Every structure is written in structure tokens, then in C-alpha cells.
Chain A
Amino acid sequence: MNDSQHPRHRLDELIHTPVRLSVMAALAAADALDFRHLRDFLEVSDSLLSKHIAVLEEAGYVRVEKGFEGKRPRTWLSLTDIGRKAYDDYIAALRSITQGAEV
């Protein structure tokens, strides 16, 4: 196997950081999550989560929608189709690496 075929080369560097991985994993399990609750759930600050969301939004992985739920302002975060595919590919690459390591 040459280097270009090794699964680690398929690891998406945009996702492969602790906070962005957590964000993507949480959003992949839901329709859309509220920013404030996601921030508390992941135990990160407003500014840190905002920065990571901006990176993911710029890559086209995450959609940000602002609106109101009754009188309560909400910022909904969801994965785009591209983001969901990128996340699935990333998880598949991780599984290939870890399964390869076990052999």
C-alpha cells in the first residue's frame, strides 16, 4: 500500500480537531441544535464555538439559521448535505485506521 492509499490521508483536517469533531458528531445526531445549548453541552465558550462554527460554515459543512422560537431568540446549527457526507467519510476513515491498527 502506498502513502496515498492509507486511510489517514482521507481524514478531513477540518473535522479532525477536538471541538470541531464534537460539533460535527453532535449535529450529525440531530435535525438542528440550538447554539446556546450546544455550547453548554460541549463545555466551550461562546467565542470558541463561534470561531469553529465559522470555519465549518465557510467550508459549507454547517448551516447557521437565526430565528425566534416564540419570543426566544434561537440560533440553529445543522449539517448541510456536504457536511453530513464529509462527517460520514471522516468516520469511515477513522474506522479503517483503527481496524487496520487492530490487525
Chain B
Amino acid sequence: MSSGKDLSRERPLDPRQALAEADRIGTTVRRRIRWNGWVWLVIAIATPLFWLGTWTNWLSRPLQFWVAVGFLIVAAMITVVAMVREARRGVVDRRVARMEWPITWAYMAVVFVMAVLVIVFDTSEAPLWFVLGALATAVPGLVGAWRTLVR
């Protein structure tokens, strides 16, 4: 870390190096910001698959088990990678930071409602309300992915 540096003593920039550095930094920042969007997309895809794969009789018991295990593995991987990235000098974009919590709360709310419904009602035959509810749990993630990846 270069601390207390005199501004006038910085080395002169070669145009080729300057262009390469500008490209490198721009690409890195865009990639780190977009990473949040990819996470939301994975969550949007994995969550309905979890509901439909484990709370209906569409799949056999062993397959239901592996869908649940797969969902837990994806959730654990996202958590670990997010923690590592946070520790490794991430960049925080205002647009992404401001929608992070509203989308997280919206996601938790729809997941909570679905969790209550699947406990109260029998969903083994995959009634329409259940399928629609499962798809609804993807909406917060899709909104987050859309707003982050399509700028």
C-alpha cells in the first residue's frame, strides 16, 4: 500500500500501459458488480426447483433427497464464496447496494409464505397454486439479476 505519497512523484504513464490498465480496471469492476447478478440468477433458478422437486411426487424419494442436497450445496457455496469475496477487496456499487436488502427481504418473505403453505397443505399432486407459488419465489432473484446484469 502506497501511503503518504507525493502526487507529483508518480511515475509517468506510457500510453499503451495506461490503456491496458484502464481496460483491466474497468473489466474487473464490471465483473465484480455483475457477480451479484449471477448469484441472484442462480437463486432464482434453484429455489423453484427446490420446491417443485422436493414437495411434489413428481420425483422419486431418492431423487427428492438429492434435489434437497443439491439446493443446500448451492446455498452453502454461495454463502462461502460471498464471504471470501467480501474479504478480498470487493467493490460496492451504489445501485447494487441499494437493492440488496429489499430483494433479500422480498425473497425471504415469499420463501417463508411458501414454507408455511407446504406445511399446512398437501402439495404432493402439485396443485396450480403451489406451482405458481414456487415460481413466485424466483421473482425477487430475477428482479435482482435483471437490474444488475441488464444495465
Residues in chain A within 8 A of chain B (CB atoms)? 8, 11, 16-19, 21-22, 24-26, 28-34, 37-38, 40-41, 43-45, 47-48, 51-52, 55, 69-70, 74, 76, 78, 91, 94-95, 97-98, 101
Contact = CB atoms under 8 A, between A and B. Distances in A.
Contact of A95 (B3, B19, B21): B19
A38 B97 CA distance: 14
Interface in B1-53: 1-5, 7, 10-11, 13, 15-16, 18-19, 21-23, 25-27, 29-30, 33
Contacts of B97: 34, 69, 74
B22 A94 contact: yes
6 interchain residue pairs of minimum CB distance:
A45-B3, A32-B94, A29-B29, A25-B25, A31-B95, A34-B92
B105 to A, nearest CB: 12
A25 B22 CA distance: 5
A40 B89 CA distance: 6
B90 A52 contact: no
Interface of B: 1-5, 7, 10-11, 13, 15-16, 18-19, 21-23, 25-27, 29-30, 33, 89-95, 97-98, 101
A37 B2 contact: no
Given A34-B91, A43-B89, 18 more contacts: A11-B15, A21-B13, A21-B21, A25-B23, A26-B25, A29-B29, A30-B94, A32-B95, A33-B29, A41-B91, A43-B2, A48-B3, A52-B7, A91-B19, A94-B22, A95-B19, A98-B15, A101-B15
A67 B60 CA distance: 53
A44 B1 contact: yes
A37 B90 contact: yes
Interface centre among A16, A30, A43, A78 (most CB of B within 10 A): A30
Contact of A21 (B7, B22, B29): B22
